[in-house]
Amino acid sequence: MKKYSHAWIAFMAIKRLEAIATSVTLGANDVTRSEAKALVTWFKNYRDFVIKGAWYPDEVFKDMSTSHIVKYSPLPGGTDSTFLKLPTSHTIYKMMQKSPLYNEPYKLERDSGNCVDRCEALAHSIVDNFKMLHYEEKGCPIATTGNHLAMRFFILSHYVADCHMPLHCDVRPFSDGKNIHGAIEKKWEDHVTASYSIDKDNNRFFYDPDGYPLHLDPTPFVLDVENDLSTRKYYHGWGGVNKNVWDYMRGVSQYSYLFARYLIPDNFTKNQNWQEFTEQTEWGRDFEKYSKMIFCDAIDSIARIWLRVWIKYRDWLK
């Protein structure tokens, strides 16, 4: 995903939290809804940092070859065939339980990347820094700030989103050759930049009266994502026996790997072009349908992780 796509995803996660907070039909209990409301109120003080924070991993950290990926490949005859469970609202998880590779052995490639670890570490660091902010006196030089914490939330959203991108979890080299990976992400970026009014001089979106990116001429894809997130049931749990961000994101990466293998067959090579992609792959034949699944699951995951991180800190305060 590219700059404005990542920022839009982060904004949509805030909007998802607002839907959770205000709608009794999405399934959250009263306590969760109250905490979601408090977190949205907090976030809206820092909306001008969304683009910068969500793009820091690519622009500043430049750890794309390690922390943005978790690469898997099939391993016939192998011993590791455990796939973790996810919340039933996760559409790719539900769909990929019917994949022929589900519960089949796989290999986590050597030097495959540490995106899962990165998400867990960032989630911990946010809670720790909130505690420091509360513990130290105002103005203390060693304490963090609200601005710093907001940036960490938005940075975290980048890594969570990347783990939902199927090609970040598939060992096949689709960034080489014709770079289908890059072409896919450019299509996504084009949807976002065509749909919203962006103040590029000040590195922020223009906002609508509710404080979200202002619609310019939204594409059907963008509207479909927004509509899905306003009605999707919310499950606060991690799914199955998962206990933390690490478990959850490991599960996400497993189903992203399965999805990549479903969307692009093994006989499609890195040297085939976009026209061949649209004609010969499941993803290309219905690009926006599958892209919507990726975006909506990513946004829902970011909202879930952010909210659980926030509640963990607020529980500590008690």
- Where do the H-state alpha helices sit in 25-144? 30-43, 50-56, 91-96, 115-135
pLDDT at 139: 82
Contact criterion met (CB below 8 Å) for 147 and 43: no
Question: Helix or strand or coil: residue 117?
Answer: helix
pTM of the predicted model, to two decimals?
0.97
CA torsion through residues 248, 10, 230, 256, sign? negative
pLDDT tens profile 7-45: 999 999 999 999 999 999 999 999 999 999 999 999 999
pLDDT at 203: 93
pLDDT at 101: 97
268-273 long-range contacts, Cβ below 8 Å, gap at least 24? 269/177, 270/172, 270/173, 270/174, 270/176, 270/177, 270/178, 270/180, 271/177, 271/178, 272/177, 272/178, 272/180, 273/178
307 burial via Cβ count (<10 Å: 0-12, 13-18, 19+)? buried
Q: pLDDT tens per residue, the chain (318 residues)?
A: 999 999 999 999 999 999 999 999 999 999 999 999 999 999 999 999 999 999 999 999 999 999 999 999 999 999 999 999 999 999 999 999 999 999 999 999 888 899 999 999 999 999 999 999 999 888 888 889 999 999 999 999 999 999 999 999 999 999 999 999 999 999 999 999 999 999 999 999 999 999 999 999 999 999 999 999 999 999 999 999 999 999 999 999 999 999 999 999 999 999 999 999 999 999 999 999 999 999 999 999 999 999 999 999 999 998
Which of 272, 268, 269, 295 has the alpha carbon at shortest distance from 282? Answer: 268
Residues 6+ apart with CB under 8 A from 134: 317
Domain that holds residue 25: 3-317
pLDDT at 110: 80
User: Looking at residue 227, which CATH number applies to its domain?
Assistant: 1.10.575
CA 311 from centroid of its chain's CA atoms: 19
- Beta strands, E only, 105-185: 106-108
Residues 6+ apart with CB under 8 A from 115: 67, 68, 69, 70, 159, 162, 163, 168, 249, 253
What whole-number distance in Å separates Cα of residue 14 and Cα of residue 245?
18
What whole-number distance in Å separates Cα of residue 52 and Cα of residue 204?
8
What whole-number distance in Å separates Cα of residue 186 and Cα of residue 151?
24
Contact criterion met (CB below 8 Å) for 261 and 268: no
Q: What is the DSSP pairing of strand 198-199 with strand 204-205?
A: antiparallel
CA torsion through residues 169, 171, 174, 176, sign? positive
Type of residue found at 317: L
Contact criterion met (CB below 8 Å) for 147 and 118: no
Measure Cα distances from 245 to 37, 149, 168 in Å.
22, 18, 18
What whole-number distance in Å separates Cα of residue 300 and Cα of residue 239?
13
Which of 92, 67, 65, 36 has the alpha carbon at shortest distance from 155? Answer: 67
What single-letter DSSP state applies at residue 219? -
Contact criterion met (CB below 8 Å) for 214 and 205: yes
Domain count, the chain: 1
pLDDT at 112: 86
Contact criterion met (CB below 8 Å) for 248 and 298: no
What single-letter DSSP state applies at residue 204? E
pLDDT at 190: 97
